[in-house]
Amino acid sequence: MSIEKETKYFLFIVFFLNFLLGITCKYFYKVDNTGVITLITSLVPAFIAILLEKDFKLKDLFKDKFNLIYSLYFIIFIFFYILSFFSEKVLNKIDYVVYLGWLISLYVLTIDDKRLRGKFNFALFLKLAFVVILIDTFRMGILNFYFQSDVDVTDLLTRVIGTFTIGLFSTIINLIFTMGEEYGWRYFLQTIFQSLYGNRIGVLLTGIMWGLSHLPLYFFVFYSGIEGLYAGIDITVFCITIGIVLGLIYMESRSVLAVTFIHLLHNMFMTNVTSADYNQDFIFTKEFLLVSVITAILVYTPFLLNKKYN
């Protein structure tokens, strides 16, 4: 199969499945369990990438530990997700499928796979993680000011400490989910786009596609109406800009594990920016959209100047 055809298949199937998952979650799923849909959609890109790498020959999945365990887990999760539409008992127990994912995350760390480990270097990982969290701290400070008219230094310090303590543990047990995104978007699609269009254009195209793939969640599940539109624009711009940083990390390390860990640490730090716990009166307004988009562009896009992108 040609690279161009692989790319078209990958994007069509990922977008189609995410659309179906968003629609089914909105109309068939319980509101208080919608966090599960985020985990399932994060698994989709890697599963489709694995199938394409094997030319959809399912028997070839058994020849590779990671491909096999990942594909089986995805199928199990989808099966119980669909079953939960019809059985409240299954719906109430679906968290156990998530717990299984935690165990698989630990198992994946024991697999010696060049695709996953790449040129993983712990010192480089810590340096890159520190830079990303430092930038996130600056951006969070601006968002703090937007929400509260001042900068909550205590909140920022608590997030930094939590990211490098509890956050490190959380990244390990949730590895399989975020790895689904990084394997699909960085390892698979970014590599293809950069081979076709060059490093800089390739990473931007990858970010656009990654952002657009989130739209079903933001239109159908997390928000609705004009808020859904604002949130959709915000997540697309955010994925393009943070994708520049994650893309650079992958180019530096060629390690799915490294970029996955840093992605997870970033998520841990930035969590609840717009949650009810963080600001109970929060409404996704065009003013917040403007602040969020401008800060994302200001703090992340300068990484495009890195020589790796030449």
CB 200 within 8 A of CB 304: yes
The whole-model pTM stands at 0.90
CB 216 within 8 A of CB 23: yes
| Distance separating alpha carbons of residues 56 and 48, to the nearest angstrom | 9
pLDDT of 195 above 50 = yes
Question: Rounded mean pLDDT of 127-143?
Answer: 85
What pLDDT sits at residue 274? 44
Q: What are the tokens at 262? A: 């840093």
Domains held by the chain: number: 1
By residue range, what is the domain housing residue 98?
A: 3-309
pLDDT of 260 above 70 = yes
pLDDT of 156 above 80 = no
For residues 95 and 213, the model is more confident at 213
CB 178 within 8 A of CB 42: yes
pLDDT of 63 above 70 = yes
**Range with the lowest mean pLDDT among 66-80, 120-134, 160-174, 253-267?**
160-174
Q: Residue 131: how many CB atoms within 10 A of its CB?
A: 14
pLDDT in tens, 36-59: 888 999 999 999 999 999 888 878
**Cβ-defined contacts of 300-305 (< 8 Å, 24+):** 300/135, 300/241, 300/242, 300/244, 300/245, 301/241, 301/244, 303/244, 303/245, 303/248, 304/200, 304/203, 304/244
| Distance separating alpha carbons of residues 257 and 260, to the nearest angstrom | 5
What pLDDT sits at residue 197? 95
What pLDDT sits at residue 145? 73
pLDDT in tens, 287-310: 888 989 999 999 999 999 999 998
Percent of the chain with pLDDT over 70: 90
**Range with the lowest mean pLDDT among 71-85, 123-137, 155-169, 202-216?**
155-169
Q: What are the tokens at 40? A: 């399932």
| Distance separating alpha carbons of residues 25 and 81, to the nearest angstrom | 10
| Distance separating alpha carbons of residues 289 and 231, to the nearest angstrom | 7
- Look over the chain and give the mean of its residue pLDDT values, rounded to a whole number: 87
pLDDT of 99 above 80 = yes
What pLDDT sits at residue 127? 87
Name residue, tokens 């159908």.
Answer: 220
For residues 26 and 242, the model is more confident at 242
> C-alpha 247: how far from its chain's center?
13
- Backbone angle region of 118, left / alpha / beta, with phi > 0 → left and psi within -120 to 50 → alpha: left
Q: What are the tokens at 255? A: 């390690």
pLDDT of 157 above 80 = no
Question: Rounded mean pLDDT of 185-210?
Answer: 96
pLDDT in tens, 263-294: 998 887 777 544 434 444 556 788 888 989 99
**Range with the lowest mean pLDDT among 99-108, 151-160, 254-263, 286-295?**
151-160
What pLDDT sits at residue 61? 80
pLDDT in tens, 105-133: 999 999 988 889 988 888 888 888 889 98
The band of 152, judged by pLDDT with boundaries at 50, 70 and 90, is: low
Q: What are the tokens at 186? A: 């960085």
CB-side neighbour CA atoms (13 Å) of 170: 15
Helix (H, G, I), strand (E, B) or coil at 282: coil
Question: Rounded mean pLDDT of 3-15?
Answer: 94
